[in-house]
Structure 1
Amino acid sequence: MRVLHTADFHAGRNLRGFDRTPEIHDALREIAALARTERADAVLVSGDLFDTANPSAEAEHAVFDFFLSLRDAGIPGVVIAGNHDSAARLGSVTGLLGWVGIQVVAQAGTPAQMVRHVETKAGQTLTVGALPYLSERRLVKAGDMLGGDVGAWRQKYREGMGFFIRKLGEGFEPGHVNMLMMHATMDGSVPSGSERTLQFDLTNGYTLSGLQLPAGAQYVALGHIHKPQTVSDTPLACYPGSVIQLDFGEGGERKQVNLVEVEPGRPARVHDLPLSSGRELRTLRVDLEHVEARLSALKGYEGLLKVVVRAPAGTALPGLKDRVLKLMPNTLAVDLEAQQEDLLIPELRREGLSLMDLYERYWRERRGELPDDLRSAFREADEAARTEAEPVEVGA
């Protein structure tokens, strides 16, 4: 069986006022074409189809056109909701998407609702335990339906998620290809620079351990992290990543989908299929005096640019953005990075300096040389302060 795994479309993404949806639509056309040429038996989409809970008509068109392309190729699929998706909105089109062969699991429910079976043209069965994104609030509500210890889950996200994972693993069947699909953050995963919410997850413990993954899963299809990576070998668990470079934090990342080859009861094999759609994103950091020279050297660059100009703190830079856009009209952002001179110029650094040294520098920068009488007075005051701060030995 050949299963194409993708995730994190983020249709409707707007970057600094620039709509990325046309690029995402191109990427989805490319993925649909790969599904056909690679003879995929099924497609799994691990959440974040849209960038917002209320996507634009163009964003919906891009995603639904992708599913129609799969229907035209006779390729079924399973989709889960991610944290950017509106579970209610996706749930409202479940019937329509089912009509074109796409099974949607928008909200957590009973195992019967989340364990899906896909019959392939070759007569094999793919069983997917589909777990959509669960916030702590949704986890408590969904767990209450199944009689779990809700009070403990409010304190232990990992235990609550483990409860659902075990329930889904119980739905795996001998003779089927068995996969788990989740939109979550795994221990050891490496986020892209743009994924601030994931940084929060990683530092606040909202992650899952690879030890929680069911042994019966031949492949775990993950979504949520935009950087392609494998986070577990037994069972094999992978993030395919986002389909284009969505933010400047993803600049330079190669985008891909995963083609999973697997037979019932046998380990899965994963092949990376690179994607070429979407404009390259690049961040250029440049000193103020070199702006024109550096931008001129990039003439012909067709990607999207973010320019960070380094200048001394307090520098007024009227017309800077116009200067940049004149040379590189495809610049989406011009940011100023103020530099403190005392951190850049060796002779102005503060580390290792005494209070006397700092006072002399302060006086010299504002009034010239420090008079001898003030120097003596400051030194006496400094010594007196040090004496008062010294601990008193008792019983010496």
Structure 2
Amino acid sequence: MRVLHTADFHAGRNLRGFDRTPEIQQALTEIAGLARSERADAVLVSGDLFDTVNPSAEAEAAVFDFFLRLRDANIPAVAIAGNHDSAARLHSVAGLLGWVGVQLVAQPTANPLDMIRTVETRGGETLTVGALPFLSERRLVKAADVLGGDVGAWRQKYREGMGFFLRRLAEGFQPGSVNMLMAHATMDGAVPSGSERTMQFDLLNAYTLSPLQLPAAAQYVALGHVHKPQQSSEMPVAHYPGSVVQLDFGEGGEKKQVNLVEVEPGRPARVIPVPLASGRELRTLRVTLDNVDARLASLEGFPGLVKVVVRAPSGTALPGLKDRVLRRLPNTLAVELDAVQEDLALPERRREGLSLLDLYERFHQERRGELPGDLRGAFREADEAARGEEEGVVA
């Protein structure tokens, strides 16, 4: 049996005001073509079909066109909702998608066995998938448990809840069938992309699964959520295929792929990465004030999207720099200043012992000039009021 595994479409993604949906649609068309040319018996989509809970019509069209292309090729699919998706919204169209051969599991059920999906392939083989959509930590870790608990206790609570679902899903595996598990979650040791959403990943990373929790009976675990392609477990075999295009500048340089999984009942899966060619390359160009023009010239004709980071002393004014960059590289989406705080070691620049008002006054002086007296007074009043409320809470 040949199963194509993909995830993290993020249709509707907007990067610095630039709509990535046309590129994502191109990638989905490419993946549907690969499913046909690689003679896939089924396709697994491990969550985050959309980038937001309220996707645009264009984003919905891109995803639904992908499933229609699979139907035209007579290739069934199983999909789950990710943390970016609206589970309720996807659940509302699950019945319609069923008519085109897509078995969608958007919401967990009280009985995990209701999340088992079975696919009868064209070759007469059976694929059984334990499909676990994204489970919010808030649903598994009650607020009452979190209050007063340490991070280790929260994490353990989450693992126990997820472990329950994983064990019950494995109970639905069938002898003589190819048995797979699909989940949208973070595994211990997963390596994120150098994403611009690092803070979000760090928060989610407080709640992880151990590879030891994955049911041994699963011949392949189709993961979604982490955008960097990687293997997360050897026994059972578990993989993230990653996102289908470079979604933000932190993913610049990453090669995108889908996984072609060759497997037969009772034997471990063989995973073959299949590279994707769609999507514009993202690149971050780091420059200093004295080499801006030379560095920009090196990227002239670059067909991808660019972020320019200018390293300069703190407080440096850069009038007209963005227009200057855009004239040379019109495909630049962002021009950012990387402020060098080399003077912080000087006594007059140290922050230790300074009040909040002193710090604000220094900030205003560097950015806008002398702090007006009325603004200083208003800031002092707000600071004193905040301190009073804090003291009342502590008392």
What TM-score range do you get, normalising by the shorter chain? Answer: 0.7 to 0.9
2:129 equivalent in structure 1: 128
2:201 equivalent in structure 1: 198
Shift of 1:300: 1.0
Structure of greater Rg: 1
1:139 equivalent in structure 2: 140
Comparing 295-304 with 190-199, greater Cα deviation is found at: 190-199
AA aligned opposite 2:14: N
Distance across 1 between alignment mates of 2:318 and 2:174: 66
Shift of 1:139: 3.4
Contact 1:153–1:160, Cα closer than 8 Å, also in 2: no
Q: State the superposition RMSD in angstroms.
A: 1.7
2:364 equivalent in structure 1: none
Shift of 1:349: 8.0
Distance across 1 between alignment mates of 2:346 and 2:9: 47
The share of aligned pairs that are identical, in percent, is 77
1:327-338 aligned at under 5 Å gives the runs 327-338=328-339
Distance across 2 between alignment mates of 1:103 and 1:160: 24
Comparing 110-119 with 123-132, greater Cα deviation is found at: 110-119
AA aligned opposite 1:258: N
Stretches of structure 2 that go unaligned for 5 or more consecutive residues are: 143-152, 348-395
* Residues 1:349 and 1:267: Cα distance change in structure 2 (over 3 Å): farther
Shift of 1:289: 1.6
AA aligned opposite 2:202: Q
The aligned length equals 335
* Residues 1:301 and 1:263: Cα distance change in structure 2 (over 3 Å): same
Distance across 2 between alignment mates of 1:199 and 1:140: 18
1:177-326 aligned at under 5 Å gives the runs 177-194=178-195, 195-196=197-198, 197-202=200-205, 204=206, 206-326=207-327
Contact 1:191–1:199, Cα closer than 8 Å, also in 2: no
1:74 equivalent in structure 2: 74
Contact 1:81–1:105, Cα closer than 8 Å, also in 2: yes
Q: 1:35-82 CA distances to partner (integer Å, 9 max, x unpaired)? A: 000000000000000000000000000000000000000000100000
Shift of 1:250: 0.3
Contact 1:153–1:159, Cα closer than 8 Å, also in 2: no
2:43 equivalent in structure 1: 43
Q: 1:115-174 CA distances to partner (integer Å, 9 max, x unpaired)? A: 110000011100000000001233369xxxxxxxxxx98961011000000000111111
Distance across 2 between alignment mates of 1:120 and 1:101: 12
Distance across 2 between alignment mates of 1:102 and 1:177: 18
Q: 1:303-335 CA distances to partner (integer Å, 9 max, x unpaired)? A: 100000011111111111001000000000000
SS in 2 for 1:306: strand
Normalising by structure 1, we get a TM-score of 0.82
Contact 2:133–2:183, Cα closer than 8 Å, also in 1: yes
Distance across 2 between alignment mates of 1:4 and 1:333: 36
Distance across 1 between alignment mates of 2:67 and 2:298: 42
SS in 1 for 2:82: coil
Distance across 2 between alignment mates of 1:153 and 1:173: 34
Stretches of structure 1 that go unaligned for 5 or more consecutive residues are: 142-151, 351-396
Distance across 1 between alignment mates of 2:256 and 2:291: 32
2:351 equivalent in structure 1: none
SS in 2 for 1:70: helix
Distance across 2 between alignment mates of 1:306 and 1:199: 23
2:101 equivalent in structure 1: 101
